[in-house]
Amino acid sequence: MSQERTAPGATGAFVEDPEAPEYSAYGGDWSEIADEAARLGQQRIVVNMGPQHPSTHGVLRVMLEIEGETVTETRAGIGYLHTGIEKNMEYRTWTQGVTFCTRMDYVASMSQEAVYCLGIEKLLGITDEVPERANVLRVLMLELTRIGSHLVAIGTGGNEMGATTVMTTAFIGREDTFRVIEMITGLRTNNAYIRPGGVSQDTPEGAVEYIRQMIPKVRQKLDELVDLQLQNPIFKLRLQGVANLDLAGCMALGITGPILRSAGLPYDVRKAEPYCGYETYDFQVPTSTESDAYSRVVLRLEECYESLKIVEQCADRLDQTVGQPVMVADKKIAWPAQLSLGADGQGNSLEHIRHIMGESMESLIHHFKLVTEGFKVPAGQVYQAIEGPKGLLGVHLVSDGGTKPWRAHFRDPGFNNLQALSILTEGGQVADVVVAIATIDMVLGGVDR
């Protein structure tokens, strides 16, 4: 990095500067807002909510101006979890980038992995060469992740409204999806399972039976959530007619996902622009025209049922494709070792280690080069979108022809949808702010990246 260039507004003052900024919890616009409120008299009350608040889904900060119990102005403050993931990815190989982007929206880890890998495959021009079994495994993982994400949305939403049972029930269901995910990927979250060109490893023995055992358990928890919530008069009073956003509002704010579908537009990237073979699966896109918080909970539950249908179909296809490859055939891209389940947990395949260490010097060189240097991706840029659990998840990838991304930018649906917080809450009750935040279902890791 050259420091001589003095671009306006780029890197400037650092520690040697005697006037270097100091950070305090009281700085920024908050004190200005508070001073202004004091100046204007007692009628105007500005309440700061977060970034450490049990009901803001993480480190979201909301600045509310209230009059009695009515919210007159809402402003969201984000950035408290900004991690610089996109910049970090510029210093890692394309394959290593998977481990970074999976930590963005950590409730739906594998959505980012999938969109990122699909983007790389488009850059490489190998989209059609990804084997069928890899695509089936990707779809399986995406749908399990979707169920998990929706269950967290419903569960924490219920918890924030004061119903702990909703959360415990939802999390039991989510743990069942995690059991399958863990069996196949080796990790509960942040899996780094979907890799450029395929997936990191094939299913272990008995995985399909395990998936089939899991499905009724999750369905039972979904049924319980339906019984617990949807006819509950308190729940209905709390959510029906709250946090309304009609279709025009959704379009103006670029809202996607369950919120858009609750306003009546059946836009789902899985149907509109199928990827990973989604066009071959049988599933519905539930919609509603109520456009309130209640309808979004209903939609999320219905989507979970649809996802279970897809998971069932995936299980059948896994049976049909046993033994087929899960990674592209091109050895210049495919990770040389297929990981396998050893006695001590996950690890490299012993067969591969024996081969590179004992038999073939060339294989060892190839392994070393591919793992340390990575593969080169031709220069260019692509945009890839998938339907994440929270909406349209996009990635803009730029390659400079090297082994590392020149720029990777993620359009997290939560980041975009959170812009709607003001319009969802202004004019409503203070207590409904929590409902609005829960209904947007953003994850701050994805919002801030």
Given candidates 18, 23, 231, 361, which one binds other proteins under the rule CB under 8 A? Answer: 23
Tokens 């007159």 identify what position?
A: 72
Query: Nearest approach, Cβ of 334 to other proteins (angstroms)?
Result: 17
Query: Nearest approach, Cβ of 293 to other proteins (angstroms)?
Result: 21
> DSSP assignment of 253-302, as one string?
HT--THHHHHTT----HHHHS--TTGGGS-------S--SHHHHHHHHHH
238 or 449, CB closer to other proteins?
A: 449
Tokens 């509960």 identify what position?
A: 188
21 or 41, CB closer to other proteins?
A: 21
Phi, psi (rounded to 5 degrees) for 341: -85, 115
Given candidates 37, 172, 215, 341, which one binds other proteins under the rule CB under 8 A? Answer: 172
Task: Spell out, one character per residue from 205 to 244, where the chain touches other proteins: x when CB under 8 A holds, - when not.
Answer: ----------------------------------------
Nearest CA to 181 among 198, 160, 165, 203?
A: 203
247 or 309, CB closer to other proteins?
A: 247
Task: Spell out, one character per residue from 396 to 415, where the chain touches other proteins: x when CB under 8 A holds, - when not.
Answer: x-x-xxxxx-xx-x-x---x
- The SS3 call for residue 46 is strand
Helix, strand, coil percent values for the chain (each to nearest 5): 50, 15, 35
Q: How many CA atoms lie within 13 A of 304 on its CB side?
A: 28
Tokens 């996009």 identify what position?
A: 394
Six token digits for residue 90: 């510029």
Query: Nearest approach, Cβ of 358 to other proteins (angstroms)?
Result: 25
Tokens 């069996």 identify what position?
A: 183
Degrees to nearest 5, angle at CA 232 with 148 and 255: 50
Six token digits for residue 201: 């490893």
In whole angstroms, give the CA distance from residue 59 to residue 50. 7
Query: Nearest approach, Cβ of 317 to other proteins (angstroms)?
Result: 26
Binding segment toward other proteins, per CB under 8 A, in 5-13, 197-205, 233-241, 345-353: 5-13
Applying CB under 8 A, does 286 fall inside the site for other proteins?
Answer: no
User: What is the largest distance, in Å, between two alpha-carbon atoms of the chain?
Assistant: 82
Given candidates 419, 426, 429, 430, which one binds other proteins under the rule CB under 8 A? Answer: 419
Query: How many residues touch other proteins (CB under 8 A)?
Result: 100
Task: Spell out, one character per residue from 145 to 164, where the chain touches other proteins: x when CB under 8 A holds, - when not.
Answer: -------x---x--------
| DSSP category for residue 129 | G
Given candidates 40, 237, 272, 431, which one binds other proteins under the rule CB under 8 A? Answer: 272
Q: In terms of DSSP H, where are the helices of 161-197?
A: 164-185
Given candidates 97, 158, 336, 445, which one binds other proteins under the rule CB under 8 A? Answer: 445
Query: Nearest approach, Cβ of 120 to other proteins (angstroms)?
Result: 12
Site for other proteins in 420-439 (CB under 8 A): none
Query: Nearest approach, Cβ of 134 to other proteins (angstroms)?
Result: 20
Given candidates 33, 207, 254, 309, which one binds other proteins under the rule CB under 8 A? Answer: 254
Site for other proteins in 356-385 (CB under 8 A): 372-374, 376, 378-383, 385
Nearest CA to 372 among 410, 336, 424, 420?
A: 336
Given candidates 167, 222, 326, 437, which one binds other proteins under the rule CB under 8 A? Answer: 167
Query: Nearest approach, Cβ of 74 to other proteins (angstroms)?
Result: 14
Nearest CA to 139 among 313, 316, 302, 276?
A: 276
Site for other proteins in 27-46 (CB under 8 A): 27-29
Query: Nearest approach, Cβ of 37 to other proteins (angstroms)?
Result: 18
Binding segment toward other proteins, per CB under 8 A, in 53-61, 66-74, 345-353, 424-432: 53-61
Q: How many CA atoms lie within 13 A of 8 on its CB side?
A: 0
342 or 378, CB closer to other proteins?
A: 378
Phi, psi (rounded to 5 degrees) for 398: -120, 130
Query: Nearest approach, Cβ of 384 to other proteins (angstroms)?
Result: 10
Query: Nearest approach, Cβ of 239 to other proteins (angstroms)?
Result: 22
In whole angstroms, give the CA distance from residue 144 to residue 115. 16
Site for other proteins in 62-121 (CB under 8 A): 78-88, 91-92, 99-100, 103, 106-107
Given candidates 175, 290, 312, 426, which one binds other proteins under the rule CB under 8 A? Answer: 175
- CA torsion 203-209-211-216 (nearest 10°) is 180
Query: Nearest approach, Cβ of 4 to other proteins (angstroms)?
Result: 10
In whole angstroms, give the CA distance from residue 349 to residue 190. 22
Beta strands in 306-350 (DSSP E): 340-342, 345-347
Residue 298 identity (one-letter amino acid): V
Query: Nearest approach, Cβ of 53 to other proteins (angstroms)?
Result: 7
Site for other proteins in 178-197 (CB under 8 A): 188-190
